[in-house]
A and B are shown apart, each in its own frame.
Chain A
Amino acid sequence: MKKILNDPNHFVAEMLDGLYRAHPEQLTFTGDDPHCLVRADSPVMGKVALATGGGSGHLPVFLGYVGPGMLSGCAVGDVFQSPSADQMLEVTRRIHGGKGVLYIYGNYGGDVMNFDMATEMADMEGIEVRTVLVRDDVASASPERQDTRRGVAGMIFAFKVAGAKADQGGSLDEVEAAATKALAHTRSMGVALSSCTLPAVRQPTFSIGDDEMEIGMGIHGEKGVRRGPLESADQIAVELLDAVLAELDVHGGDRLAVMVNGLGATPPEELYILFRRVHRTLEERGVAVHQAFVGEYATSLEMAGASLTVMKLDDELQGLLDHPAHTPFFTQVGR
């Protein structure tokens, strides 16, 4: 795998340096540590602050959603590694606007432990912190074991909905409830066609045949539900759609937000081919797509493949989704 690199050990540091240089009006860091990324206008006083965090290698997740209408800050880890608890604490201190802080992040062991520790330390400093864990990937565990599911692209809908609630002046209780509701209405599943390659390792993380795909694979290469011959875009679209709709009780007349997300090495053309089948199938069932998100929203370095995320909308979720937001990687025009 060829990569555009200097020293692979400086992958994250140089990525962050480039990012701050590209978006100086929007992003900065705190605690003298570039891994502690916050909105340039932090803290926004009088509003609930939202933070996330996790390993690098998933842009725009996580830091790409820091900006007005979405997140207030993000602790950035090394590639696929959790940031440390005190980096999270540093972000928490800087974004706190006096109304508490909500952590929204994916269900991965190292992240959970470090965020829990950051919560304890913030509490000792008088900052109230709550946590909403993202567990949207239906392929990662059965419905009976939903608590162990990992979080993937569905977190973007949670960022959007909770961010809107905070921007509108919601209390910590209300912002937490909005995030929880968004996630209760959101499910995801993906398919991988190739491995990613860690910059410092320079070898593919796992092997998969040229004519194979792995349905349900995680964004670090965790195993999915089955491996088989590569199928057509239409077959993949229908399998992913059926799997995510199975838990959402969607009927004719319902409205959805639909995200077809590229994992890093699949061109947007192919994502639109997938979206086409998803949309036509929903149309046949009388289900409306309120807003489509087609592009790269949560990647895994240069992994080929895609994920499908669906959020079933009601009036409240639709209103919060429609609220304006603006980050270096994501813009929602209010409507």
Chain B
Amino acid sequence: MSEGGAEVITGQEISDALRRAAAQLILLRDHLNRLDADIGDGDSGLTAERGAQAILAYLDATPPTDDLGRWLAGAGMAYNRAAPSTMGALMATAFMRAGKEVMGRATLGPEDLAAMLNAADQGLQERGKTKPGDKTIVDALHPAAVALSEALKAGEPLEHAAQTMLDAARAGRDAAIALRSQVGRANWVGERTEGKPDPGTVLLVAALEAALQADFSEAGSRLG
């Protein structure tokens, strides 16, 4: 990011951020599996690891092109091919919808990032037939997308807006702990999901933290 004036985000910066996020998900495999075993079928970490490995392989083989939209959609398809599970389909949808926002663009501005995050949020809600409050990844993603848009609209520089976004994602993750799962396999477990962190929100916050080079935080650490 350049200092002052119009902030320009390059494909290389996005590629580096994705790399850090993918590496972090691989480190979190066992942690995510344990969280998922409590409320779902216990394979979230495996799926995340498989998808993240595919993203890393994609980034190795495919440097950012002049069309960052198609390049990002390609990363989503790589994730989906490696992990066609529900979470794989959702992640691919997020990448594809984000990519659609910036088709044909070689560099991005802060407002593009906000549009991409909003598109990913909408895509996940549509594809997963889920909404905020259902105890899914959306409970962290939606507030993050809203916070980034609003901070930028209020004139905050990208660095501050990104911090605001991360705080909102963490708060969303922690607020979701008390909720009861409303969708997917976790829904069958019903009230036993209350008081447990949702692996999707944990995954998203960890990925954002790694992308922004922020400290890793535990689910629930920002409560109260």
Please give the residue numbers on chain A whose beta carbons come within 8 Å of chain B beta carbons, in ascending order: 77, 81-87, 109-110, 113-114, 116-117, 120-121
Query: Chain A binding site: helix, strand, loop or mixed by DSSP?
Result: helix
B55 CB-CB contact with A under 8 Å: no
Question: Smallest distance from the beta carbon of A289 to chain B beta carbons, Å?
Answer: 38
B190 CB-CB contact with A under 8 Å: no
The docked-state distance in angstroms from the alpha carbon of A81 to that of B81 is: 12
Question: For chain B, which range describes its interface: under 10, 10 to 19, 20 to 34, or 35 or more residues?
Answer: 10 to 19
Chain A residues near B77 (CB, 8 Å)? Answer: 84-86
Answer whether A87 and B92 are a contact pair too, CB < 8 Å, given A116-B127, A117-B127: no
Question: Smallest distance from the beta carbon of A124 to chain B beta carbons, Å?
Answer: 9
B149 CB-CB contact with A under 8 Å: no
Nearest opposing residue in chain B for A78, CB measure? B84
Question: Smallest distance from the beta carbon of A20 to chain B beta carbons, Å?
Answer: 21
Of A114, A116, A120, the contact of B84 (CB 8 Å cutoff)? A114
Nearest opposing residue in chain B for A115, CB measure? B89
Inter-chain contact B81/A113, CB cutoff 8 Å: no
Of B86, B92, B184, the contact of A85 (CB 8 Å cutoff)? B92
Inter-chain contact B81/A110, CB cutoff 8 Å: no
Chain A residues near B88 (CB, 8 Å)? Answer: 84
Inter-chain contact B128/A113, CB cutoff 8 Å: yes
How many A-B contacts at CB < 8 Å in the complex?
46
Chain B residues near A85 (CB, 8 Å)? Answer: 77, 80, 84, 89, 92
Of A86, A87, A117, the contact of B93 (CB 8 Å cutoff)? A117
The docked-state distance in angstroms from the alpha carbon of A110 to that of B80 is: 11
Of A87, A110, A121, the contact of B89 (CB 8 Å cutoff)? A110
Inter-chain contact B184/A117, CB cutoff 8 Å: no
The docked-state distance in angstroms from the alpha carbon of A110 to that of B88 is: 9
* 11 A-B residue pairings within 8 Å (CB atoms): A82-B85, A85-B80, A85-B84, A85-B89, A85-B92, A110-B84, A110-B86, A113-B90, A114-B89, A117-B89, A120-B96
Question: Smallest distance from the beta carbon of B185 to chain A beta carbons, Å?
Answer: 8
Inter-chain contact B127/A110, CB cutoff 8 Å: no
Question: Smallest distance from the beta carbon of A191 to chain B beta carbons, Å?
Answer: 22
Chain A residues near B85 (CB, 8 Å)? Answer: 81-82, 110
Nearest opposing residue in chain B for A124, CB measure? B100
Inter-chain contact B128/A87, CB cutoff 8 Å: no
Chain A residues near B184 (CB, 8 Å)? Answer: 109
Question: Smallest distance from the beta carbon of A173 to chain B beta carbons, Å?
Answer: 25
Given contacts A85-B77, A113-B86, 12 further A-B contacts (CB under 8 A): A81-B84, A82-B84, A84-B84, A86-B80, A87-B81, A109-B184, A110-B86, A113-B93, A113-B127, A114-B80, A114-B89, A121-B96
Question: Smallest distance from the beta carbon of A29 to chain B beta carbons, Å?
Answer: 15
The docked-state distance in angstroms from the alpha carbon of A87 to that of B77 is: 10
Specify which of B80, B88, B128 lies most central, judged by the most chain A CB atoms within 10 Å of its CB.
B80
Inter-chain contact B86/A84, CB cutoff 8 Å: no
Inter-chain contact A86/B81, CB cutoff 8 Å: yes
Chain B residues near A86 (CB, 8 Å)? Answer: 77, 80-81
Specify which of A81, A83, A113 lies most central, judged by the most chain B CB atoms within 10 Å of its CB.
A113
